Amino acid sequence: MYELYYWSGIQGRGEFVRLVLEDIGQPYVDIGRDKGDDAVAKALDGVLAPYAFAPPVLRAGDLVVAQTALITRWLGEHHGLAPHDERGRLAAATIALTIADLTAEAHDTHHPITVEEAYEKQKASARERARAFRQHRIPKFLGYLERILEKTGNYLVGTVSYADLAAFQVVEGLTYAFPHTMAKQEIPKLRALRDRIAQRPRITAYLTSDRRLTFNESGIFRHYPELEAA
Amino acid sequence: MYELYYWSGIQGRGEFVRLVLEDIGQPYVDIGRDKGDDAVAKALDGVLAPYAFAPPVLRAGDLVVAQTALITRWLGEHHGLAPHDERGRLAAATIALTIADLTAEAHDTHHPITVEEAYEKQKASARERARAFRQHRIPKFLGYLERILEKTGNYLVGTVSYADLAAFQVVEGLTYAFPHTMAKQEIPKLRALRDRIAQRPRITAYLTSDRRLTFNESGIFRHYPELEAA
């Protein structure tokens, strides 16, 4: 039985892991939601120490894996949601890490100065950073994914993998946070991939369950209308 | 023969890869330095496409690996600079990714708003972000590494690995960028690790060669005195 350690009230980075756990159909305990955030914080100094810096963290028996892209890779490779050959495995890992970078940049649009203070204390800088993110970074990252799909077809690395689930989630998150910007992106193949993932039976079941939290303004992908104003 | 694709004038993220290549004693071509940055840019749209988003990228015959922490892991695991067991491998990978996060945050101290504009255009925000970075993030990340070493001894994951080389490099970079802040950190075990890595014969030879560039204000770790002023 896998244990996922992540904060209870948000999708956040943990959602990339939840999607993989749901898709591979493995039972897991979502520790934050089951036992509260205190249990997560306590575990970081206890059973998850010393290698886990921050949630999400996955515990699989004696193994402790942290860092979103590493957790999803490990799960994907152990449960048939990753390529089998080394080239494909490295490609999927590269994509997942690049999506993790995009996610970190999405986070910094509302926290460009410090995670120690609330968004409201850094709104002026957030507005500037969000503008650059919308104008330059979203097109650059999503164009990268689109160009891969132009070469590979239905999935980012030939056969479906955890990297496709990550692409689904980042499109969902960015669409929540920056709907007008996202509406303008010319990414037909990436949108088709998003739909293809949403239609996977276990993903559909998950997305319509109460296990799928809604996006909110405590998570990584936040919708602040002022961050999308020209 | 390995090919490293990275910009020619800076240590940057490429340096984490160079250190591993030097330590494992494998011959490599440093494409940017040998053939110029144009060759790197061209390769991104050519031989490195479609999975590499940005340098550094390693080419090993038919394989293309991007993302610093993934490249160093791959090299380390193929050349005896990584643990042999799965627990150890996951621990080293987790640490390397966490150091990559620290490196990204170090970058954003001088580019808190956008990579499209020079530091000089975002100095006010940079000052704020650097203050938070010095006060909160440096102690948090380096404290994490120090606590690991308190448990593991001479190396972060029992035996020497690419994660130790990454720790060496981030300590060097932060010490260049924020010397006063770094002088105040209580990290005796991490400093001892830094020294231990510097004394590895191939690393010593590299650090004293003209292949080792000096830190400068085009790289990731930049020294701007005003970013360390109270």
Give the separation between CA A24 and CA A29, rounded to whole angstroms.
14
| CB-based contact, A147 to chain B, within 8 Å | yes
Give the separation between CA A212 and CA A210, rounded to whole angstroms.
5
Say which of B62, B70, B141 has its CB closest to residue A93: B70
Domain B2-78 CATH class label:
alpha beta
Q: Which two tokens stand for residue A127?
A: 């507005």
Strand partners for A3? A29, A59
Give the separation between CA B65 and CA B60, rounded to whole angstroms.
8
Give the separation between CA A164 and CA A96, rounded to whole angstroms.
9
Give the separation between CA B195 and CA B200, rounded to whole angstroms.
9
Q: How big is the A-B interface in CB pairs under 8 Å?
A: 122
Strand partners for A65? A58
Contacts of A89 in chain B (CB under 8 A): none
Which helix (H) or strand (E) segment holds residue B47: the answer is none
Give the separation between CA A75 and CA A168, rounded to whole angstroms.
17
Question: Hey, what amino acid is at A150?
Answer: E
Annotate B96-146 with DSSP letters as a single string.
HHHHHHHHHHHHHHH-SS-TTS-GGGGHHHHHHHHHHIIIIIHHHHHHHHH
- The distance in angstroms from the start CA to the end CA of chain B is 48
Contacts of B91 in chain A (CB under 8 A): 51, 64
Evaluate if residue B85 carries a pLDDT over 70.
yes
Q: Which of A94, A109, A121 to mutate to test the interface with B (most CBs of B within 10 A)?
A: A94
Evaluate if residue B230 carries a pLDDT over 90.
no
| CB-based contact, B218 to chain A, within 8 Å | no
| Alpha-carbon distance A13 to nearest alpha carbon in chain B (angstroms) | 14
In CATH, B86-200 is 3.40.640.10: no
| CB-based contact, B148 to chain A, within 8 Å | yes
Give the separation between CA B175 and CA B164, rounded to whole angstroms.
16
| CB-based contact, A114 to chain B, within 8 Å | yes
> Would you state the pLDDT for residue B229?
87
ipTM of this predicted complex?
A: 0.98
| Per-residue pLDDT reduced to its tens digit, B4-50 | 999 999 999 999 999 999 999 999 999 999 999 999 999 999 999 99
| Alpha-carbon distance B144 to nearest alpha carbon in chain A (angstroms) | 7
Give the separation between CA B184 and CA A226, rounded to whole angstroms.
40
| Alpha-carbon distance A208 to nearest alpha carbon in chain B (angstroms) | 32
User: Under a CB-based contact definition with an 8 Å cutoff, are residues B112 and B125 in contact?
Assistant: yes
User: Under a CB-based contact definition with an 8 Å cutoff, are residues B202 and B131 in contact?
Assistant: no
Sketch the domain layout of chain B as residue ranges. Answer: 2-78, 86-200
CB contact under 8 Å between A50 and B116, yes or no, is no
For each of chain A's 230 residues, which pLDDT tens digit applies? 999 999 999 999 999 999 999 999 999 999 999 999 999 999 999 999 999 999 999 999 999 999 999 999 999 999 999 999 999 999 999 999 999 999 999 999 999 999 999 999 999 999 999 999 999 999 999 999 999 999 999 999 989 999 999 999 999 999 999 999 999 999 999 999 999 999 999 999 999 999 999 999 999 999 999 999 86
Among chain A residues, CA nearest to B51: A91
Question: What's the pTM?
Answer: 0.98
> Would you state the pLDDT for residue A229?
87
CB contact under 8 Å between A114 and B136, yes or no, is yes
CB contact under 8 Å between A132 and B125, yes or no, is no
CB contact under 8 Å between B52 and A94, yes or no, is yes
Cis peptide before A56, with omega less than 30 degrees from 0?
yes
Return residues 23-62 of B near A (CB < 8 Å).
49-53, 62
Q: Which of B59, B72, B114, B131 to mutate to test the interface with A (most CBs of A within 10 A)?
A: B114
User: Under a CB-based contact definition with an 8 Å cutoff, are residues B167 and B156 in contact?
Assistant: yes
Which helix (H) or strand (E) segment holds residue B192: the answer is helix B188-198
Contacts of B128 in chain A (CB under 8 A): 113-114, 122, 125
| CB-based contact, B225 to chain A, within 8 Å | no
Evaluate if residue B155 carries a pLDDT over 80.
yes
Contacts of A62 in chain B (CB under 8 A): 87
